[in-house]
Amino acid sequence: MDRITEATSYIQEQDSSSGNICLCTESLCLSYGTRAALENVNLRIPSRAVTAIIGPSGSGKSSFLCCLNRMTDLCCSTTIEGSVRLGEHDIHRDLGKNPIALRRRVGMVFQHPNPFPFSIWKNLALPLKHHGVRNKQELSSVIEQALRRVGLWEEVGDRLRDSALTLSGGQQQRLCIARALVLEPEVLLMDEPCSSLDPLSTKCIETLIGQLKNSYTIVVVTHDLAQARRVADHVALFWNADGVGRLIEQGPAARVFQHPEHELTTSYLEGQL
């Protein structure tokens, strides 16, 4: 137990050298009702880079991600302590009761593709209209741009009026990414975006993540270590200790994979190799 806390603070000192920090959490604790799910998470997420969150299931990776755009507000009886800073704002204090402004800046893609049961066009137009884009021409150009960015334009550009549910799983997930991107967020959170996809679609999404990191800060949860190696610039390992999720190691991907500092990281990486 003590070892874990020690290691975290040690790593924190070491890691403060890395570039621009976009999101950072300070002693973040989350509990569902009376059950603690996350304890004392101090994670720094560099901007315009891919941060991969890895760890066994139940270690609080998804819960952590939900703290970053306040999706935790949805479940009643969650309590959050500590702080999450986005730029100079504390997202729980400064942004007050209204998480909507925050969610425009921090987009999210879910584990299972969840397009609305509408046409491809309407899936993208709905959030745009909701945020004030009404001009038909502007809508079309933004939608085309978003679809091109995720490589869907070539595949479905000629059938935008078809239901999004007729797309394949991989296409649906890319549509969801496009839908998150039309609002031009700064950060894109992805919770195991490939876990329900076939290898080809997975490859497609990984390539996409590689391209998007030039313009967005990306946080991707994955249980696939090989994927983390392929896409991540920074890695954070969560661990479930006594039923509570903790961050036990973080740092540049190359360093964490080659010279893990925590013994649990070593065994976790080896166990999967």
Ligand X SMILES: Nc1ncnc2c1ncn2[C@@H]1O[C@H](COP(=O)(O)OP(=O)(O)O)[C@@H](O)[C@H]1O
The reply to whether 75 sits near ligand X by the rule CB under 6 A is: yes
**Minimal distance, residue 3 CB to Mg ion, in Å:** 25
Q: Is 233 helix (H, G, I), strand (E, B) or coil?
A: coil
The reply to whether 122 sits near another protein by the rule CB under 8 A is: yes
- Binding residues for ligand X, rule CB under 6 A, total 12
Q: What single string gives the DSSP state of each residue in 39-63?
A: EEE--EEETTSEEEEE--TTSSHHH
Residues from 187 through 216 that contact ligand X (CB under 6 A): none
Q: Exactly one of 4, 22, 29, 37 binds ligand X (CB under 6 A); which one? A: 37
Pairing of strands 44-46, 187-191: unpaired
Binding mask 47-86 vs another protein (x if CB under 8 A, - otherwise)?
A: ----------------------x-x--x-x----------
Residues from 244 through 273 that contact ligand X (CB under 6 A): 245
Question: Which of Mg ion, another protein, ligand X, none does residue 60 bind (CB under 5 to 8 Å by kind)?
Answer: ligand X
Q: Is 108 helix (H, G, I), strand (E, B) or coil?
A: strand
Structure tokens at 80: 């959050």
**Minimal distance, residue 37 CB to Mg ion, in Å:** 11
Q: Is 193 helix (H, G, I), strand (E, B) or coil?
A: coil
Question: Which of ligand X, another protein, Mg ion, none does residue 69 bind (CB under 5 to 8 Å by kind)?
Answer: another protein
**Minimal distance, residue 170 CB to ligand X, in Å:** 22
The beta-strand segments (E) located in the chain are 21-32, 35-41, 44-46, 50-54, 78-86, 89-90, 106-109, 187-191, 217-221, 234-241, 244-252
The reply to whether 79 sits near ligand X by the rule CB under 6 A is: no
- Give the chain's count of helices (H) and strands (E): 11, 11
